[in-house]
Structure 1
Amino acid sequence: MYLTTVRTSRTDDPRDAWHSGWWPVKSLLWVFLMVIPFFIPSSFIQIYGEIARFGAGLFLIIQLISILNFVYWWNESWLSDKNIRRCRVPIVSVSAFSIVTSIAVMVLMYIWFAPRPSCSLNIFFITWTLILIIIMTIISLKPEVNAGLLTSGLMGLYLVFLCWSAIMSEPISETCNTRHRQTGKGDWLTIVSFLIAFGAIVMSTFSTGIDSKAFSFKTVEEESEDKVPYGYGFFHFVFAMGAMYFAMLFVGWNLHQTTQEWSIDVGWASTWVKIVNEWLAAALYIWTMVGPFILKDRDFSSH
């Protein structure tokens, strides 16, 4: 789909109909692609696994940029001249909620995931997350930066979520985690949790796929009526990377170890992927604030 729709720019292009329609043909193609992997040699699947590991990492980066773009869009929308007066209370409320929730969740993580001094790795994960949030908040409140508490609050909440998710992905044998986790048994809680996670990832993939403007390095021009609403090629590229991300979740990012039945995204590989993604999110957010002062010759206003 990516190869057949990339660079589609107008709705009168035949590829627009292929992207938006042709569902009977696509349904048959989908069935074919669901069956054919069972006849492909395992060695090829192993090669695809290596490619998928890279693609899944790329998907996380794309998703991160999209989330960061959304956070800035939200902040700028509420601080615009026409919304600033009626959005003062919502800005303060959402910012306060984000900060308070982040602090509360981190306290719970210390209680649930670091009950003993010997749980040094979890203590490091949680403490470093707290330090990153403090650094981001201080920089965002600098008069020269003036990013505001809304962006730092939302990004802080995102970092806490990634830290929580990373610790919950630690192997079942990890004794420092006192919370209920996937045990490999197909109970209803595991199934419901999987379905919710599945739906959330699909929705985030879809929203990222149609957010091609966040990855444009050109000044946005006024769009004509017959211009496609978003980049079709980019949309399918993101879904291809998202499919690779799903593949890595099912095997816990480990291609050489059999995962437990009914478990998803469990293992040290999954834990470290999320932790690194958290650190990358903090670094990227900090860079968006300090970058204009370091690269003074670059114009950041059009992005």
Structure 2
Amino acid sequence: MDGSAEAAATRTRSLQISPGDLEAAHLDDLIREIEQRSLYYYQEKNKSLRARYVYGTIFLIINLCAWFIRDYAQKALALLPRKNVSSCGPEGSDCFHTLGVLRVSLGCFIFYLVMFLSTWNTRKLHEFQNSWHSNYWSFKFLLLVLAMVASFFIPQLYIQIYGEIARVGAGIFLGLQLVSVIEFITWWNNYWMPHDQSKHSCSFGLVMSTVFYIGSVSGIAVMYYFYAACVLNMFFISCTVVILTVMMVMSLHSKVKNKGLLSSGIMASYIVFLCWSAIRSEPLHTKCNAQTQNGHTDWVTILSFLIAIGAIVMATFSTGIDSESFRFEFRKDEAKEEEDIPYSYGFFHLVFSLGAMYFAMLFISWNLSHSSREWSIDVGWTSTWVKIVNEWFAAAIYLWKLISPIVRQPRVYEQPQPTAAEVDR
């Protein structure tokens, strides 16, 4: 009897739970669910950000493999039992030097192209493509090895065709890199030279623009002193002087004002660097290159080579994560949501696939007919002219970006003033 009374009392108390208690319990569950979802997105986003460095490290290792195959693989193979591979020709000659670099580049290109095709439409962190981009490293490592091995069984004719295509892909990569650099320079200028003209920010921007301009002029003077050994170099340096003058005049235009002052100074330094790099790429044993290279492999040459490889990887990496500058998959005026991916995976892998073509061209100096010297990179007349054209193209893009708001600005037409007779009427 007592047990039945206690059970009835329990049922009565359960029926007496207020709606407020139910709402509070539901609210607690909702908050817990939101926190768990936020934690999940946070972890997935961190995985995605860490994955960028893994892909960059893979790209660096592939660059080092291409260098080894170009310079030392044939010597190493001589120490091993001879094995003939039909696609590599007699003694494996078609798998080393220039063709070996192209084969490694092709394997790298295939890997990143597969990653691009499998991730290009990724939008949210909960999609499978996000997990594929950030996980499954064992499977992706196997995919990379298969792509590399398969490229060494492709006939020589197709490798040469790929080399011609790689020239175009490398040119596209250079264009993307230029846009990324100019966008970064513009962002830095807007940060330090804001429209409200904060005293601290503008002062720093003016000082930095002065420093960059002084550095650019000093660089021009050094190039005139050391590298003006032939008419061609005089032409390159003089063209750079003209470009710097035009940029300075445009940045001081009344309608541009401080919007282009700092950016033009940074861009001037970048253009001077491209001119210097072009002159340094001139081939050995020529009148123009009397002061630039000694033809011997020393620690300076090795250090310069390693720095150049690091620059290739950094340029590819920085351009790959800068998808917003190109507005392929994102819009700058579009608000980011919590579940959105932190950067465009498809564009990231597309840039790395083009970067595979770019490093191949640098290792073979854009020339498919002969092999490069040991510990050299991007040396030859083709490399020189590619950098000079790159310099001119960069200047043209920047100047257009500087004046385009003025050109596109709608004209304001004044209304004709009424005559005295019209006023009387």
Using structure 2 for the length normalisation, give the TM-score: 0.66
Q: Which has the higher helix share?
A: 2
Match of 1:264 in 2: 377
Contact 2:232 2:288 in 1 (8 A): no
Paired amino acid for 1:279: W
Aligned equivalent of 1:241: 354
Alignment of 1:26-175 (within 5 A): 26-80=140-194, 84-115=198-229, 119-146=230-257, 147-175=259-287
Query: Is residue 383 of structure 2 the alignment partner of residue 275 of structure 1?
Result: no
Which of 125, 134, 147 is equivalent to 1:11? 125
Query: Aligned letter for 1:202?
Result: V
Asked whether the 8 Å contact 1:95–1:150 carries over to 2, the reply is yes
CA positional deviation for 1:18:
1.2
**Aligned partner of 2:242: which letter?**
I
Which residue number corresponds to residue 254 of structure 1? Answer: 367
Distance 1:235 1:83 in 2: 36
Percent identical: 50
- Determine the C-alpha separation between the residues in 1 that align with 2:293 and 2:351: 30
Equivalent in the alignment of 1:301? none
**Distance in 2 between residues matched to 1:79 and 1:102, nearest whole Å:** 20
Q: Indicate the larger mover: 151-160 or 18-27.
A: 18-27
Between the aligned partners of 1:182 and 1:210, the Cα distance in structure 2 is: 38
Q: Which residue identity is paired with 1:48?
A: Y
Please say if 1:225 is aligned against 2:342: no
Kept in 1, the 8 Å contact 2:227–2:292? The answer is: no
- Per-residue CA deviations over 1:47-90 (Å, capped at 9, x if unaligned) read 11111100000000000000000011001112336883332332
| Deviation, structure 1 residue 10 | 0.6
Does the 8 Å contact 1:249/1:265 carry over to 2? yes
Matched, 1:198 2:284: no
Deviation at 1:92, TM superposition (A): 2.3
Does the Cα contact within 8 Å between 2:324 and 2:332 map onto a contact in 1? no
Q: Relative contact order (C-alpha < 8 Å, sep 6+): which is higher?
A: 1
CA RMSD, aligned part only?
Answer: 1.8
Deviation at 1:43, TM superposition (A): 0.8
| Cα contact 1:163–1:278 (8 A) shared by 2 | yes
Contact 2:282 2:288 in 1 (8 A): no
Contact kept in structure 1, 2:122 and 2:344, CA below 8 Å: yes
Per the TM alignment, residue 180 of structure 1 is displaced from its structure 2 partner at its CA by 4.2
* Structure 2: distance between partners of 1:264 and 1:58: 20
Distance in 2 separating the partners of 1:201 and 1:73 = 23
Once residues 39 and 121 of structure 1 are traced to their aligned partners in structure 2, the CA distance between those partners, rounded to angstroms, is 43
Distance 1:162 1:81 in 2: 31
- Offset, 1:186: 4.5
Q: Kindly state the Cα deviation for residue 182 of structure 1 after the two structures are TM-superposed.
A: 6.8
Q: For residues 238-270 of structure 1, what are the alpha-carbon distances to aligned partners after superposition, in whole Å with 9 as ceiling and x for unaligned?
A: 111111110000111111233223221011110
**Equivalences, count:** 293
Contact 1:112 1:178 survives alignment (8 Å) = no
Cα gap change, 1:36/1:187 in structure 2, threshold over 3 Å: closer, same or farther? Answer: farther
Moved more, 261-270 or 215-224: 215-224
TM-score, normalisation: structure 1: 0.91
Computing the radius of gyration over CA atoms, which structure comes out larger, 1 or 2? Answer: 2
Asked if the contact 1:59–1:238 (Cα under 8 Å) also holds between the matched residues in 2, the reply is yes
User: Gaps spanning 5+ residues in structure 1: where?
Assistant: 298-303
